[in-house]
Amino acid sequence: MTTESRYPAQTRRQLLTRIGILAGSAGLYQAMTSLGHAMGTDFKGPPHLTGARPGTTVLVLGAGLSGMLAAYELRRAGYSVRILEFQNRAGGRNITLRGGDTLTELGGATQKVGFAPGNYINPGPWRIPYHHQGLLHYCREFRIALEPFVQLNHNAWLHSSSTFGGKPVRYRELASDINGYTGELLAKAIDQHKLDDLVMPEEREHVLSTVRGWAGLSDKGTWASGARSSLRRGYDKMPSAGIDGAPTYSTPFPRAEVMKSGLWQWMAFPEALDMQTTMFQPVGGMDNIGKGFASRVHDLITLGCAVTSIHQDDHGVKVTYKDTAHGNAIREAAADYCVCTIPLPVLSQLDIQVSGPLKSAIAAVPYASSVKLAFEFKRRFWEEDDQIYGGISFTDQPISQISYPGHGALSKGPAVLLGGYMFGPAAYDFAGMTPAQRVEEGLRQGSVFHPKQYRSEFLNGIGVAWSRMPWTLGCCSMWSEQARKAHYKTLVSMDNRIVLAGEHASYVGCWQEGAILSSLAAATQLHKRATGAA
Amino acid sequence: MTTESRYPAQTRRQLLTRIGILAGSAGLYQAMTSLGHAMGTDFKGPPHLTGARPGTTVLVLGAGLSGMLAAYELRRAGYSVRILEFQNRAGGRNITLRGGDTLTELGGATQKVGFAPGNYINPGPWRIPYHHQGLLHYCREFRIALEPFVQLNHNAWLHSSSTFGGKPVRYRELASDINGYTGELLAKAIDQHKLDDLVMPEEREHVLSTVRGWAGLSDKGTWASGARSSLRRGYDKMPSAGIDGAPTYSTPFPRAEVMKSGLWQWMAFPEALDMQTTMFQPVGGMDNIGKGFASRVHDLITLGCAVTSIHQDDHGVKVTYKDTAHGNAIREAAADYCVCTIPLPVLSQLDIQVSGPLKSAIAAVPYASSVKLAFEFKRRFWEEDDQIYGGISFTDQPISQISYPGHGALSKGPAVLLGGYMFGPAAYDFAGMTPAQRVEEGLRQGSVFHPKQYRSEFLNGIGVAWSRMPWTLGCCSMWSEQARKAHYKTLVSMDNRIVLAGEHASYVGCWQEGAILSSLAAATQLHKRATGAA
């Protein structure tokens, strides 16, 4: 993509979001309509479907969030609903792993989670932006307790293998230095009247005071060791008490190193809409959302159903599946309509009777591979030794990041962190390793942040490769701009009696919100069709 | 102060911190010693005092955090300790107000808190930075549960009365536009070779790519409506699902308005060391810290002791006090040594037998006035209507800010927010009002953020004026640079048998950490003196 060419490696979310935006974006400008209210959420509230024809039946394929929500809203509308689920649990990619859980992947490798009681990792979705109002609405309705997810941590590490001697620096140091040096350069340019063609005289003082203030420059207009810079980047000796309580200042890193590092991308990361504060996580594990949804539709779900074909005609939909809980018996289920939330890499391999264009659309969307590593350590050395409470340390190594738990700060005993989050090529590399190799490689790379403790405090670890999960065969949809133009509207449009739902059927790909919004859009379409309104 | 002259109104913390830094700062430069480890905390662990002479007695004046901690560590060292406290509760300025609590101020006005069960406000300290390692150490030791305090919220409001038509804008919009426009200007200056004297050829591409990337500029190097800018500042229509799921872009505010607004200061605010993430608050109220400390020394505390004189000679210390719990009976307490944590505005009015220089020091430190408003509303309209979960909306009006609760997100029923936090002149204005007038004025000003709901959802409110609290007569110490030079070392040095402690005896003024560190410094000094080591 040409838009990427000038930039260092983008973060996966930036990449995904940009892909999503660019798709179909030509000419999508709109005048700013009202100050300060420019962004709402596109969630306008639950659909309030009413007036279903009595006895109309709906078959939902998949008991992830989108399937369960469609079932919940359609039953409320008056439909007779049934859900077939492949796994022996509901929730789909909304999942939390705890001690004693096992995970079997394609190829047969099985991992048993060794975490201490109370510890967990969310290998799928793990954070919720404030603007995901659809998901937040149902969390509130289903009384699922949320707590802040610590995304940005000024005291976490940033690591560039090729700069600063290969040693990590603190986010606050790097971010302050970038703001300071760029502000210093711009202030000098304006001060020396080099930008008089760009900054009119009446605006000059305003730009100068903004740049100097925001960058935290000294009275001389410089970014140098002193009170203002230490107030941002930290001190060599912190202000304290007693006779020797006075602080000593720190010294900014050399500008050339700061600019060469490429670490600006990790400053930009938490400024992207999807990563801005306030973010949330469910108290106790992400699967409390899945459990909350399941508590409303558990009576509709049949587990262990491996769908093999989806047929339809003018009278209804017929689904064939293997009942894996009962000796792989072949069974059939029929209904008037079907909401299909099966992930596209699986769905594209099934015998599904839909139009040619929809078949093409189903085959056109590649799925991202992603791998998450989770390590349990004897103690929270990142807190006790490094004063890092939650947030993320980033590196340009394949593991990309270490994310520290934002919950349970200061507690004693073993704790679990996210030891790596691979996307793209690195994810394929890690998925090709055995689970033990993934853990070993994650420990090796992560040691750059915590060289003294990463091995000595290690207890156990797992590596979850989403491309090897048999029920999804990938992490989430990766729409290209071209695919979006050619196939999106077809993919999300009802095909006679069948409508697709899931994060792949949205512009909010790879987020639970995409599953929620697409589920509501699908249920609404189905209802219009079934009541003759469409 | 000359350092302030060029800048718009500073935030109180910036001001305080700067004052603290500048004091005694001449020549305090120190070479950067090691990459990425430039800042530690000055807390090295508890003092581990041992070997007190049996029977040595210590009288601690004040059962705030500094007094209770000094008592805790000195008893552990082997001293016989007693604490006299003025109020009928321990904790000092570490306080939480809940429904049913009453607050009587100088002048006699009494407020009764009307909050619903479970709701509270912390009118004194209300947040804890990650680098306050002394306080965090004791929170951990005393098993006081903490949770993240949401400081920065990209979706909160910023308000400048004189720009944007007097309407608030979202933090994400303003911050993105400042980064975008400053980056655009600098990139153009470099691109057009206007800065070739400042940026050497070998650094040029690195600076350009950093500036373009961090600012989020378009491929053309501009900050304009499009994919990159909407990714930061928000969309007019958010990415969604279904057939009409494509987003539409927002348009940046006019550069002249952005630069004129002065709102950069609220971007700088959370970048200051004391406000950086991760911040904490105790679960359930700040006074859980005071209660945690009190649980370790409750047997040492006598409440209701209004100290009137503190005398000392070569043999010991003698304190006279009114026993307000028993008809104001005049009583005496004696000990070998004394740790005095009485706030300076009160202490300066007492008959205290210390050296002339120490008396001068005690009189030399003015205290800040500050006022906090707390309002209870019927529901969390800031969440439900404005998608603001925790964090702070800032204004250039006297109330300065509204801080939303970071805990209990999505919950139903009444909730309490901080409706104003005045410091400096505005605090004196508000302290001069009746409590009812403070509430009314806070509601009037705060309506700029929530015009539809602020009156209609209001239930009750309080206004706490720290200058009117009889036991402290101010919020906290405001060392001037001159006073720090002349008096700090005297103030923190043991005067025969008496040593002062409290946030005022530190470079971490107005923070609980100052009380903790000064307490440990005072206890250590006392121990050295008492064991003949100093």
- Mean pLDDT, range A319-343, rounded to an integer: 98
More confident position, B508 or A19: B508
Tens digit of pLDDT for each residue in B312-344?
Answer: 999 999 999 999 999 999 999 999 999 999 999
Question: Per the structure block, which two tokens stand in for B505?
Answer: 């005896």
Tens digit of pLDDT for each residue in A76-87?
Answer: 999 999 999 999
Query: Which pLDDT value is given to residue A44?
Result: 84
Q: Which fold has domain B97-155+277-285+370-468?
A: Polyamine Oxidase; Chain A, domain 2 (3.90.660)
Q: Which fold has domain B11-20+56-91+288-365+480-530?
A: FAD/NAD(P)-binding domain (3.50.50)
Tens digit of pLDDT for each residue in A132-166?
Answer: 999 999 999 999 999 999 999 999 999 999 999 99
What is the DSSP pairing of strand B476-477 with strand B401-404?
unpaired
Q: Is the pLDDT of residue A280 over 70?
A: yes
Q: Is the pLDDT of residue B94 over 50?
A: yes
- Mean pLDDT, range B361-371, rounded to an integer: 96
**Which B residues, 186 through 225, put their C-beta within 8 Å of a C-beta on chain A?**
186, 188-190, 194-195, 198-199, 203, 206-207, 209-214, 216, 219, 225
Instruction: Tell me the pLDDT band of B41, cut-offs 50, 70 and 90.
Output: low
Q: Is the pLDDT of residue B355 over 50?
A: yes
How many Cα atoms occupy the beta-carbon half-sphere of A413 within 13 Å? Answer: 7
How far is the alpha carbon of A201 from chain B, nearest alpha carbon, in Å?
A: 11
CB contact under 8 A, B231 and A276: no
CB contact under 8 A, A265 and B236: no
CB contact under 8 A, A247 and B28: yes
Q: How far is CA A59 from CA A75, A88, A534, in A?
A: 11, 18, 20
Nearest to B277 among A20, A154, A165 (CB): A154
Please answer whether residues A390 and B278 qualify as being in contact, where contact means their C-beta atoms are separated by less than 8 angstroms.
yes
* Rounded-to-integer distance, Cα B293 and Cα B334, Å: 24
Cα-flanking dihedrals φ and ψ of residue A27, to 5°? 75, 15
Q: Is the pLDDT of residue A1 over 50?
A: no
Residue with tokens 């006073």: B483
Query: Which pLDDT value is given to residue A50?
Result: 94
- Mean pLDDT, range B266-279, rounded to an integer: 96
Nearest to A203 among B182, B214, B259 (CB): B259
Q: Where are the domains of chain A?
A: 45-90+291-365+479-530, 97-155+277-283+370-468, 170-261
Query: Which pLDDT value is given to residue A18?
Result: 35
Nearest to B21 among A210, A227, A488 (CB): A227
Quick one: chain B helix, strand, coil %, rounded to 5?
A: 35, 20, 45
Spell B355-387 as b/e; 16+ CB within 10 A means b. eeebbebbebbebbbbbbbbbbbebbbbbbebb
**Which B residues, 312 through 371, put their C-beta within 8 Å of a C-beta on chain A?**
none
Q: What is the mean pLDDT of chain B?
A: 92
- Mean pLDDT, range B356-363, rounded to an integer: 98
CB proximity list for A408: less than 8 A, separation 6 or greater: A415
- Mean pLDDT, range B89-103, rounded to an integer: 98
Question: Per the structure block, which two tokens stand in for A312?
Answer: 């339809």
- The answer to whether residue B131 neighbours chain A at the CB level (below 8 Å) is yes
Burial of residue A37, with CB atoms counted within 10 A of its CB: 0-12 exposed, 13-18 middle, 19 or more buried: middle
CB contact under 8 A, B20 and A173: no
Question: Per the structure block, which two tokens stand in for A357?
Answer: 């264009």
Q: Is the pLDDT of residue B113 over 70?
A: yes
Tens digit of pLDDT for each residue in B176-203?
Answer: 999 999 999 999 999 999 999 999 999 9
* Rounded-to-integer distance, Cα B293 and Cα B291, Å: 5
Q: Is the pLDDT of residue A31 over 50?
A: no
In percent, how much of chain B has pLDDT > 90?
91
Question: Per the structure block, which two tokens stand in for B3?
Answer: 């350092």
What 3-state class would DSSP assign to A217?
Answer: coil
Which residue does chain A place closest to B221, by CA atoms? A6
Q: Which of A236, A485, A488, A503 is the best mutation test for B, with the most CBs of B within 10 A?
A: A236
- Mean pLDDT, range A379-405, rounded to an integer: 97
Which residue does chain B place closest to A134, by CA atoms? B240
* Rounded-to-integer distance, Cα B190 and Cα B211, Å: 10
Query: Which pLDDT value is given to residue B27?
Result: 24
Amino acid, res. A369? S
Question: Per the structure block, which two tokens stand in for A94?
Answer: 């909304």
CA A202, A207, A210 angle in degrees (round to 5)? 140
- Mean pLDDT, range A228-237, rounded to an integer: 96
- Sheet containing strand A146-149, strands side by side: A128-129, A279-282, A146-149
CA B180, B184, B188 angle in degrees (round to 5)? 170
**Three-state secondary structure of B505-517:** HECCCCCHHHHHH
- Mean pLDDT, range A188-217, rounded to an integer: 96
The CATH classification number of A170-261 equals: 1.20.1440.240
CB pairs under 8 A between A and B: 456
* Rounded-to-integer distance, Cα B207 and Cα B533, Å: 56
Query: Which pLDDT value is given to residue B40?
Result: 43
Cα-flanking dihedrals φ and ψ of residue A130, to 5°? -65, -25
Which residue does chain B place closest to A503, by CA atoms? B241
CB contact under 8 A, B39 and A236: yes
B273 neighbourhood in chain A, CB within 8 Å: 172, 230-232, 234-235
Strand-pairing partners, residue A462, are A374
* Rounded-to-integer distance, Cα B476 and Cα B368, Å: 6
- The answer to whether residue A276 neighbours chain B at the CB level (below 8 Å) is yes
How close are the terminal C-alpha atoms of chain A, in Å?
38
CA B75, B124, B15 angle in degrees (round to 5)? 105
Question: Of A423, A521, A515, whose CA–CA distance to A132 is shortest?
Answer: A515
Q: What is the DSSP letter of B381?
A: H
Nearest to A246 among B24, B251, B258 (CB): B24
B203 neighbourhood in chain A, CB within 8 Å: 255-256, 259-260
Query: Which pLDDT value is given to residue A42?
Result: 72
Residue with tokens 């660019």: A22
CB contact under 8 A, B170 and A36: yes
Strand-pairing partners, residue B322, are B306, B330
Q: Is the pLDDT of residue A32 over 50?
A: no
- The answer to whether residue A39 neighbours chain B at the CB level (below 8 Å) is yes
Q: How far is CA A360 from CA A345, A507, B106, B380, in A?
A: 13, 19, 78, 46
* Rounded-to-integer distance, Cα B269 and Cα B156, Å: 14
Q: What's the CATH architecture for B171-261?
A: Up-down Bundle (1.20)
Instruction: Tell me the pLDDT band of B42, cut-offs 50, 70 and 90.
Output: confident
Q: Is the pLDDT of residue B474 over 50?
A: yes
A259 neighbourhood in chain B, CB within 8 Å: 203, 206-207, 210
pTM for this model (two decimals): 0.92
Q: Is the pLDDT of residue A282 over 70?
A: yes
Query: Which pLDDT value is given to residue A424?
Result: 84
CB contact under 8 A, A36 and B387: no
More confident position, A486 or A22: A486
Question: Of B512, B528, B432, B450, whose CA–CA distance to B157 is shortest?
Answer: B450
Tens digit of pLDDT for each residue in A37-52?
Answer: 334 457 889 999 999 9
Please answer whether residues A477 and A410 qualify as being in contact, where contact means their C-beta atoms are separated by less than 8 angstroms.
no
Q: Which of B203, B223, B231 is the best mutation test for A, with the most CBs of A within 10 A?
A: B231
- Mean pLDDT, range B203-219, rounded to an integer: 97
CB contact under 8 A, B189 and A186: yes
Tens digit of pLDDT for each residue in A350-362?
Answer: 999 999 999 999 9
Query: Considering just the CA atoms, what is the radius of gyration of chain B in Å?
Result: 26
Q: Is the pLDDT of residue B9 over 50?
A: no
Q: Check: CATH 3.30.9.10 for A97-155+277-283+370-468?
A: no
- The answer to whether residue B78 neighbours chain A at the CB level (below 8 Å) is no
ipTM score above 0.90: yes
- Mean pLDDT, range B132-152, rounded to an integer: 97
Question: Per the structure block, which two tokens stand in for A149?
Answer: 């997810």
A272 neighbourhood in chain B, CB within 8 Å: 231-232
Q: Which fold has domain A45-90+291-365+479-530?
A: FAD/NAD(P)-binding domain (3.50.50)
A29 neighbourhood in chain B, CB within 8 Å: 225, 248-249, 251
